[in-house]
Structures are given as C-alpha cells and as structure tokens.
Amino acid sequence: MKSNTSIRIQSIEESSTLAMAAKAAEYKLRGIDVISLSLGEPDFQTPSHICQGAKDAIDSGNFFSYPPVNGYLDLRQAISKKFKSENNLKYNPNDIIVSNGVKQSITNVMFSLLNKGDEVIVFSPYWVSYDAIIKLADGIPVYLHGNIDNDFKPSAIQLEKCITDKTKLIIFSSPCNPTGSVFNQKELEEYSKIILKHKNIIVISDEIYEHINFFDNHTSIGSLKDMNERTITLNGFSKGFAMTGWRLGYMGAPDWITKACKKMQGQTTSANCSIAQRAGLVALNSGIETAIEMKKAYLKRRDLVYGLLKEIRGYNVNLPKGAFYFFPNIKELIGKKTKNGIIQSANDLCMYYLEEARVSLVPGEDFGASNCIRLSYASSKKNLIEALKRIKSSTNKLF
C-alpha cells in the first residue's frame, strides 16, 4: 500500500537523541563496544523508598482503577505544597495537572493554546521536542539565540526584538537541556519586565532539571512580581528522582489554562499510571536528600569532564551550571577530512565519533545549534574517562 501519512507528521523529524541512542544500541547488539553519552537519562536507580511506595500501592489493592484525569488529589496537593515551599509559586491543586512526563504537558499546552500562525519564542539552543510540538500544533517557532560566549543565554534586549503581535508563548528551560545553563533571578527579572509589557504573552518555564543546579539558587520565573498569572511551570520526577521510566510529570498554571489542558489530556491519554502517581507522592513527601546526593555526584563528573574536554583540540567549551550536559562548539572541526569524506556538519562529526571512537553523542542541529554537539555525563566515571580518551584520539586524527 502506498504511504499516505499526514503532512503534519511529515513536517517533523525523528528525535535525534532517540535516533543516536538507537544507533548505539544497534552497534551493541552486533557486539561492538559503544559508550553512549547521547541520552539525557540518570544512570542512578530510582531510590528504594520510592519503589517501596509503588509496591505498597500495588499490595493495597486500592489503585487499580482509572485515576482522575488531572491526577490524584493528594498528589496534586503535595505538588502544590512543593511549588509553594520550594519555588514560591502559588498554584492550588486544581491548577495542577499530572501527566505522562513533561513532554505530554508541553503537548497539552501547545494544542490547547495555539491557533494556526501563532508564534512561540523558543530560547535556543532548546530541547529538541519544543520545536516539533509547536509545529504539530500549527504554531510558528521563533528562535531566540544565545551563544557559548554568554553561556547560551540571550539578553532581554534580544527577547524584546523577537516579540510581534503574533507572539503568544515563550518557552525555555532552566537548568537548560542541552546547554546546562541556569538563568539566575536577575536575568529572569529582566525578561519579566519585557514580558509584562505585553499583556497576552504566556511563559512556559521547563524546570525538570531544578534539582541539578550547582551554584545558583533555583529561581522560578513564575515567582517574580506579577508573573504567577503569566507563567506555566513544568516539572517532574525523571531527573531529580531518577524516575525516567515512570513517565511522571506535572504542570502548574492559571486555572483557565489547566481546564483547557485537562480537556486535551482527557481526550488523548487520560490520566497517568496510578502506581507511578503513588510512587511520586512518596518521592515528594520524603524530601530531596537523594536528589542532593545525586547532584553531588553529577558535580564531580562535570568537573572531570570539563577538564578532559578542555584538552581536545578544536573544542570551545564553557562550564555549565546545571543539568548533566556539555554543549561544546565544534565549528573548527567542520570541513576536516576523514577517510570517508569531509565533515560538513555536527551530524557528520557525531557519525565519525560513532564509527571511529565508538562513542555515541548527539548533533546540535536539532537543538538549534548546528556548530555544537551534546554530551551527557550521566554515566560512570570509568565510562566518561574512556569515552573522552577515545574522542580526543579520534579528533587528533582530523588535524
């Protein structure tokens, strides 16, 4: 039968992070020793007390029915309390929706708020799915670029220049995937001054890496003066609590937005898994001590990898303040010759490393930065040392 997929699905690409991870897995199945630094996934196990909470929920026999679309009330109450105590955000339980990961929350928002031709300002470099989801919802992404010299953080003046009468949303992450940049309170205040000049613009603040912040106190833009009613705050359990496979995210927003998103979620996936929600409740009620311990480990790895990356010829590297990524600029390597041809893009370079060094990385094109590559250091010290050794050796062959 002739392929007859929609124009909508033809307009987007497969996630590059998932594609590179799949290639690495394919090599491993063939018995080839590949070190994968491509996925943004903690290498820690979900803490045992959280797993026990899920086991207890199963053993109780009380959580085998469909949960409420927006999540169990006690979990939303715990999230509301967390928002207030940790972030100074005022979202009551009815302003919160528990979803199947932050990606679903973003999808809910875009499909609930965007009309065809509405513009969304995307801080760039950006997480790969922002762009795709905006396009699927018939919106137009408008890219606000930062560069490595200012830690990939655009200025408030740049933001103001991007705003038009079609601007409806602004989206960014802090700490940022893929750059590891963290927006401090002063920077967010400068952005908010611009945003508040335009009464109909809503900000989407993706804070999934909140607990992996090495220096600055985490600041939520929604906590700033007059921004609570203008902000959708996204968060979840995957990074700080090492719960990626549990698919548990949440959002807080003004009630008119959550009502729309609840309708959207109710007609697509409905509620998140009941048992995952009970585990999330235990996670929130048990404090963030395990998250702090994981952060300490990430910090040691960051410092290790930073030193090793600085030794690689052709790499321009900054020191990220959060998350678990480096996003080096590799512009100097574009145009270099290999035995199979010329490196014409970051994608070509990543394929070269996969073939030559047996290390899986992610090209920067899909993050909005064609001269960069993303490296995740959510891996063991042993793997990181060996991977960087291989990358350095392979890079030296290009000169």
pLDDT band at 13 (very low <50, low <70, confident <90, very high): confident
Give the pLDDT confidence of 157-203 residue by residue, as tens digits: 999 999 999 999 999 999 999 999 999 999 999 999 999 999 999 99
| CB-based burial label for 217 (10 Å; 0-12, 13-18, 19+) | exposed
Q: Tally Cβ neighbours within 10 Å of residue 156.
A: 16
Question: What is the average pLDDT across 317-332?
Answer: 98
Q: 168, 118 in Cβ contact below 8 A?
A: yes
Phi, psi of 96 (to 5 degrees): -120, 140
Q: Specify the pLDDT at position 11.
A: 80
> What pTM was estimated for this model as a whole?
0.95
| pLDDT at site 366 | 86
Cβ proximity of 269 and 100 under 8 Å: yes
How far apart are alpha carbons 336 and 218 in whole angstroms? 41
> What pLDDT, on a 0 to 100 scale, did the predictor assign at position 23?
77
8 A C-beta contact, residue 327 and residue 363:
no
pLDDT tens for each residue of 56-97:
999 999 999 999 999 999 999 999 999 999 999 999 999 999
Q: 309: how many CB neighbours lie within 10 A of its CB? A: 20
| Dihedral angle computed from the Cα positions of residues 167, 171, 172 and 173, in that order, rounded to the nearest 10 degrees | 170
Q: Which domains does the chain have, with CATH numbers?
A: 7-45+290-396 (3.90.1150.10), 63-286 (3.40.640.10)
Say how far residue 232 (Cα) sits from the centre of its chain.
Answer: 15
In this prediction, what percent of the chain has a pLDDT beyond 70? 99
Q: How far apart are CA 347 and CA 337, in angstroms?
A: 14
Q: The dihedral of CA 355, 42, 366, 313: what is its sign?
A: negative
Q: Is the distance from CB of 347 to CB of 179 less than 8 angstroms?
A: no
Over residues 237-247, the pLDDT tens digits come to: 999 999 999 99
What is the DSSP track for 191-209? HHHHHTTSTT-EEEEE-TT
Helix, strand counts (H, E) of the chain:
13, 14
Phi, psi of 103 (to 5 degrees): -55, -40
Position 283 pLDDT exceeds 70: yes
Q: Could you tell me the pLDDT band of residue 29, with boundaries at 50, 70 and 90?
A: confident
Is the pLDDT score of 3 beyond 90? no
CB 307 within 8 A of CB 301: no
* pLDDT category of residue 28 using cuts at 50, 70 and 90: confident
Burial of 89 (0-12, 13-18, 19+ CB in 10 A): buried
The position carrying tokens 């030559």 is 356
The confidence score (pLDDT) of residue 1 equals: 61
pLDDT at 225 over 70: yes
* pLDDT tops 80 at residue 24: no
Predicted confidence (pLDDT) at residue 279 exceeds the cutoff of 90: yes
pLDDT at 150: 92
